[in-house]
Chains A and B, each alone.
Chain A
Amino acid sequence: MRPVLYVLTFLSVIALGFWAYRENYATQASLREVRALQREIADLREALSVQKAEWAWLNRPERLRELVGLNFARVPLMPMEPGQFGDAAAVVYPVPEIPAIEAPDILSGDAFSGIDGIVATAAGEEEGL
Chain B
Amino acid sequence: MRTPLRPLARVLPARSRGENPDLIERENLEKRHEAIRDKNQPRASARLGLLALAFGCAYLTIGVRMGHLAASEPVEPVASAPGAEIVAQRADITDRNGRILATNMTTSALYAHPRDMVDPKGSAKRLAEIFPDLDAAALEKRFTDGRRFMWVRKVLSPEQMQAVHEIGDPGLLFGPREMRLYPNGTLAAHVLGGYSFGAEGVHSAEVIGTAGIEKALDARLRDPARAGEPLELSIDLTVQATVEEVLGAGITMLNARGGAAIVMDVRTGEIIALASAPTFDPNDRPVPLVGKNDEPSDSPLFNRAVQGVYELGSAFKIFAAAQGMELGLVGPETMVDANAPMVWGKHKIKEFQGKNYGPLLSVREVIEKSSNVGTAHIALMIGPLRQQAFLKSLGFFDPTPVELVEAPGAKPLIPKRWPEIVTITTSYGHGLSASPMHLAAAYASIANGGIYVKPTLIKQHGPATGVRVMSERVAKESVAMLRGVVTKGTASLAEVPGYEVAGKTGTADKPKKSGGYYKDKVINTFASVFPASNPRYVVLVTLDEPVDTSGSEPRRTAGWTSVPVAAEMIRRIAPLMGIRPAVEPITGTALTAAAN
Q: Which residues of A contact B (CB under 8 A)?
A: 30-31, 34-35, 38, 41-42, 45-46, 49-50, 52-57, 59-62, 65, 79-87, 90-94, 96-97
Contacts and interface: CB of A to CB of B under 8 A. Distances in A.
Given A53-B100, A53-B183, A85-B581, A94 B575 contact: no
A60 B184 contact: yes
B186 to A, nearest CB: 8
A94 B591 contact: yes
A61 B241 contact: yes
B237 A91 contact: no
B1 interface: no
A35 B78 CA distance: 11
Interface stretch (B102-110, B255-263, B384-392): B102-110
24 contacts: A38-B81, A49-B87, A49-B105, A53-B181, A56-B99, A56-B100, A56-B103, A57-B181, A57-B183, A61-B241, A62-B184, A62-B241, A65-B241, A65-B245, A82-B575, A84-B575, A85-B580, A86-B587, A86-B589, A87-B585, A90-B587, A90-B588, A90-B589, A93-B590
A46 B187 CA distance: 24
A53 B105 contact: yes
Nearest to B184: A60
B85 interface: yes
A62 B242 CA distance: 10
Given A38-B84, A82-B498, A93-B591, A52 B184 contact: no
Contact of A91 (B105, B183, B571, B591): B591
A107 B585 CA distance: 44
B42 interface: no
B71 interface: no
Interface string B77-89: 0100110110110
A91 B575 contact: no
B585 A86 contact: yes
A80 B575 contact: yes
B187 A62 contact: yes
Interface of B: 78, 81-82, 84-85, 87-88, 99-100, 103-106, 181, 183-187, 237-238, 241-242, 245, 496-499, 571-572, 574-576, 580-581, 583, 585-593, 596
Contacts of B591: 91-94
A34 B576 CA distance: 47
Contacts of A38: 81-82, 84-85
Contacts of A87: 585
A30 B78 CA distance: 11
A102 to B, nearest CB: 16
Contact of B105 (A50, A59, A60, A62): A50
Contacts of B497: 82
A68 B75 CA distance: 59
Contacts of A57: 181, 183-184
A46 B81 contact: no
B575 A85 contact: yes
Given A53-B105, A61-B241, A62-B186, 18 more contacts: A38-B84, A42-B87, A45-B87, A49-B87, A49-B88, A52-B103, A56-B100, A57-B181, A57-B184, A60-B185, A61-B184, A61-B187, A79-B572, A81-B575, A82-B581, A84-B575, A92-B587, A93-B591
A90 B583 CA distance: 13
B593 A94 contact: yes
A33 to B, nearest CB: 9
A60 B241 CA distance: 9
Nearest to B498: A82
A36 B241 CA distance: 43
A88 to B, nearest CB: 10
B575 A31 contact: no
Contact of B185 (A54, A55, A62, A97): A62
B480 to A, nearest CB: 22
A27 to B, nearest CB: 9
A34 B586 contact: no
The CB with the most chain B CB atoms within 10 A, among A56, A90, A94, A97, is that of A56
Given A35-B81, A52-B103, A84-B575, A96 B583 contact: no
Contacts of A82: 496-499, 571, 574-575, 581, 583
A106 B356 CA distance: 86
A79 B245 CA distance: 12
Contacts of A81: 571, 575
A50 B103 CA distance: 9
B84 A41 contact: yes
Contacts of A42: 84-85, 87
A122 to B, nearest CB: 17
A83 to B, nearest CB: 6
A56 B183 contact: yes
A31 B82 CA distance: 9
A86 B172 CA distance: 64
B238 A61 contact: yes
A45 B132 CA distance: 33
Nearest to A39: B85
A127 B586 CA distance: 47
B222 to A, nearest CB: 17
Nearest to B570: A82
Given A45-B87, A49-B103, A82-B499, A94 B592 contact: yes
Nearest to B575: A80
A81 B99 CA distance: 23
Contacts of B81: 30-31, 34-35, 38
Given A52-B103, A53-B105, A94-B592, A83 B84 contact: no
The list of the 3 closest CB pairs from A to B, nearest first, reads A61-B241, A34-B81, A56-B183
Contacts of B574: 82
